[in-house]
Amino acid sequence: MKFSAQEIQKEVARLHKKLGALGWTEKACEDITKVTLEINKLKKEKNAIVLAHSYQTPDIMYGIADFVGDSYGLSMKAKKTKADLIIFCSVHFMAETAKILNPEKEVRVPAVASCSLAESITAKDVRDLRKKHPKAGVICYVNTSAAVKAECDACCTSANALKIIEGMPQDEIIFVPDKLMAQNLQPLTKKKLIKWGGTCIVHEEFSDKDIREIKKLHPKAKILVHSECTPRVVKEADLMGSTTDMLNYVKNAKGKQFMLVTECGLKDRAIAEFKDKEILGSCILCPYMKEILLEDTLECLKSPSKNQIIKLSETTIKKAKRSLDKMVEIVENV
Ligand code: SF4
């Protein structure tokens, strides 16, 4: 595709306005301009939208995405649009959630990456757990495959997990797959949580010692921790929650300094979107999320490979949707 000098100049200015805060020079913005322009043009031609999880790279979040956020929120946003095609820049299971909630739309994912948490459990594992604990209700975190969601009674997100646990009729809950999230939730409920052994390779890496160092250097800083972190890290936190909870906290808090104990993409978002706040400390990259490049997204839009198109059976969609619907029902009624 060819673009005029004027179109390129306008695009460089648009990109630099957001990416400049993250250290991108005008030259670096110019280098990606032809791809972002082509993607944005193709989106219109194909009536497509691009969803980007907050752990994507800034060029994707600010260059081509129509919506940026967490996986469930993005899938719900897509539902409200009239788009025929959804390109979901994220890991595979998140695109599956979009397909479950938008079965009439075509959903594509630019890189076919799963993740340590979603891969830790299969549908058969859930069926076996049910046999072992027949009286327990089964909740699966949204970071699971569609096949796993189809075997559960209710889904939950990191933002509403406790609410879903409390809203279930059973006193015993099989909570899969995140062992650390279950450990963090157990002290907050009287119900017995039966844990699985999955972990997120990003969040389990943070150390409580590093956080204490930041606190010593910046005693007024607020420490915001994702609930996939270890309980030792959560103990140091002012807030344990989801990516959306963390961003809302930074947006609304009176303080100026924050440490976001999560993947680097969210730190980038906070720096780009809250220029009056100081975001401290280091972060960890998710290798699965970072598999997606602008060029993959362009190819996925132009001529997707078979693997880039999300295919789920009607039965899986129906059963997995029941788990997601149950989550919504509990949130609305508790
Ligand atoms: S951050 Fe953790 S849970 Fe999220 S995709 Fe990466 S490995 Fe999976």
- Residue spans of the domains in the chain: they are 5-114+289-303, 117-199+313-333, 203-280
DSSP, res 22 = G
d(CA 8, CA 26): 12
Residue type, 298: L
The confidence score (pLDDT) of residue 112 equals: 86
- CB of 115 within 6 A of ligand 1: the answer is yes
Nearest CA to ligand 1 atom 3: 200
| Domains 117-199+313-333 and 203-280 in one fold | yes
Residues 191 and 173 sit within 8 Å (Cβ to Cβ): yes
Which pTM was predicted? 0.95
Strand (E) or helix (H) holding 73: helix 71-79
Count CB-CB contacts under 10 A for residue 213: 12
The confidence score (pLDDT) of residue 113 equals: 84
The confidence score (pLDDT) of residue 294 equals: 97
Question: Which residues of the chain have a pLDDT value below 70?
Answer: none
CATH match for 203-280 among 3.40.50.10800, 1.10.1060.10, 1.10.10.10, 3.40.50.2300: 3.40.50.10800
Among candidate residues 218, 224, 286, 229, the one with its CA nearest the CA of residue 252: 224
47 sits in the region (left: phi over 0; alpha: psi -120 to 50; else beta) called left
Q: Does domain 5-114+289-303 have CATH number 3.40.50.10800?
A: yes
Strand (E) or helix (H) holding 48: strand 48-53
> How many degrees, rounded to 5, is the angle at CA 116 between CA 141 and CA 304?
95
Instruction: Name the CA radius of gyration of the chain, rounded.
Output: 20
Best residue among 201, 230, 292 to mutate for probing ligand 1, ranked by most atoms within 8 Å of CB:
201
For the domain covering 117-199+313-333, report its CATH number. Answer: 3.40.50.10800
d(CA 124, CA 261): 33
- CB of 263 within 6 A of ligand 1: the answer is yes
Q: Which 3 state secondary structure label does DSSP give 84?
A: coil
- CB of 286 within 6 A of ligand 1: the answer is yes
